[in-house]
């Protein structure tokens, strides 16, 4: 192994004060929210990256982003968030890169903001947080975002968000505790994002956009583990290809916030090493723990290089 291994982490979050101050309730700030780290796009973040050996973060706004606001508010705040992130990438061009925040409530404006930030800011794609106004992205009104992502040759990172309020009430409310991790990190986020990804596949969106690329965090939000079963029964539902083929051809996975060796082994077995990228989910998970997880994985040094930077360098055209 070389003296200094390049490590790129691609699901790393910040927030702008204008959005932070609007978050409340189950979507918002709790005593456990690492506000100091989310506020920072400089010293605090770089110190943790340096201590863990992380060379670059591809940074995105924390969920729920701007997706719960009216169009006028969302468009203005997304632009503000992207401008702030761009300034940080200009200050630290070898350490920070960006995924765009998109005002998905107005899909055409979201597509335009994606193009603006890719063309003018060299952003590497966009990160979208779950539902917009109760709707998943398989709804055709959102497809202009995918059309633009394909044209720009950038991926969409499909990130968790809080489930629909009817689901929250029916499935999760009995076990509400404190900041409610059952609804979010423990299970609600995962179930929500897995359903979102499955809906995209069965919607036929990948027939419409055959070069569209989607990234899932948290080692695939459980889909690799259930891929055989989904493929068996959802074969050719809504699309021209088998479910598993669509998943393997259009999806990339990251290690964000899921440092479980058996889950990584399952992802590699189902999708192949070229589809797995490193991420921490900073500041909710430990950068050092994430790096140690991959370093200690029972895979070759060449495969670790692919996870740590090779696959992201290629997909996101980093350092080109």
State the residues that interact with Mn ion by CB under 5 A: 11, 281
Judge whether 209 and 151 are in contact, CB under 8 Å.
no
Cβ nearer to Mn ion, comparing 75 with 128: 128
| Number of DSSP helices (H) and strands (E) in the chain, helices first | 15, 8
CA gap 159, 221 in Å, rounded:
10
Q: What is the DSSP letter of 6?
A: -
207-212-215-220 Cα dihedral, nearest 10 degrees: 20
Helices (H), 131-257: 143-152, 165-167, 188-203, 205-208, 223-234, 243-250
Between 11 and 101, whose beta carbon lies closer to Mn ion? 11
Question: Which lies closer to Mn ion via its Cβ, residue 38 or residue 294?
Answer: 38
CB of 159 to Mn ion, least distance (A): 6
- 148 C-beta neighbours (distance < 10 Å), count: 23
Nearest approach, Cβ of 258 to Mn ion (angstroms)?
Answer: 11
In whole angstroms, the minimum distance from the beta carbon of 120 to Mn ion comes to 25
The first and second tokens of residue 260, run together, are 């479980």
CB-nearest residue to Mn ion:
281
Between 203 and 222, whose beta carbon lies closer to Mn ion?
222
The DSSP letter of residue 135 is B
Catalytic residues: 281
Q: Which is nearer to Mn ion, 11 or 270 (CB)?
A: 11
Within 10 A of 269 (CB to CB), how many other CB atoms are there? 11
Give, in order, the Cα–Cα distances in Å from 128 to each of 11, 100, 110, 196.
Answer: 12, 9, 10, 11
Smallest separation (angstroms) from Mn ion to the CB of 219 = 13
Output the smallest distance, CB 285 to Mn ion, in A: 9
Q: What are the backbone dihedrals phi and psi of residue 232, each rounded to the nearest 5 degrees, phi first? A: -60, -40
Crossing angle of helices 243-250/261-271, nearest 10°? 100
């Amino acid at each position: 192994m070389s003296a200094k291994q390049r490590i790129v982490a691609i699901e790393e979050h910040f927030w702008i004060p204008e959005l932070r101050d609007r978050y409340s309730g189950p979507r918002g700030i709790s005593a456990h929210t690492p506000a100091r780290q989310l506020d920072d796009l400089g010293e605090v973040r770089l110190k943790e990256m340096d201590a863990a050996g992380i060379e670059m973060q591809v940074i995105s706004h924390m969920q729920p982003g701007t997706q719960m606001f009216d169009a006028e508010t969302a468009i203005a705040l997304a632009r503000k968030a992207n401008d702030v992130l761009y300034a940080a990438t200009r200050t630290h061009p070898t350490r920070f890169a960006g995924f765009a925040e998109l005002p998905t409530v107005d899909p055409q404006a979201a597509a335009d903001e994606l193009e603006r930030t890719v063309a003018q800011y060299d952003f590497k794609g966009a990160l979208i947080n779950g539902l917009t106004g109760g709707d998943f992205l398989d709804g055709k009104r959102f497809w202009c975002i995918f059309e633009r992502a394909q044209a720009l040759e950038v991926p969409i990172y499909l990130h968790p968000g809080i489930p629909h309020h009817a689901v929250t009430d029916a499935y999760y409310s009995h076990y509400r505790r404190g900041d409610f991790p059952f609804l979010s990190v423990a299970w609600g986020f995962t179930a929500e994002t897995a359903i979102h990804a499955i809906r995209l596949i069965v919607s036929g969106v990948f027939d419409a956009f055959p070069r569209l690329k989607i990234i899932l965090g948290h080692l695939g939000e459980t889909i690799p583990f259930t891929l055989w079963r989904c493929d068996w029964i959802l074969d050719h539902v809504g699309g021209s290809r088998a479910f598993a083929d669509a998943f393997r051809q259009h999806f990339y996975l990251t290690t964000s916030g899921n440092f479980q060796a058996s889950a990584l082994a399952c992802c590699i077995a189902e999708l192949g090493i070229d589809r797995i990228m490193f991420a921490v989910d900073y500041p909710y998970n430990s950068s050092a723990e994430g790096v140690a997880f991959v370093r200690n994985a029972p895979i070759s040094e060449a495969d670790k290089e692919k996870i740590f930077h090779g696959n992201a360098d290629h997909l996101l055209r980093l350092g080109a």
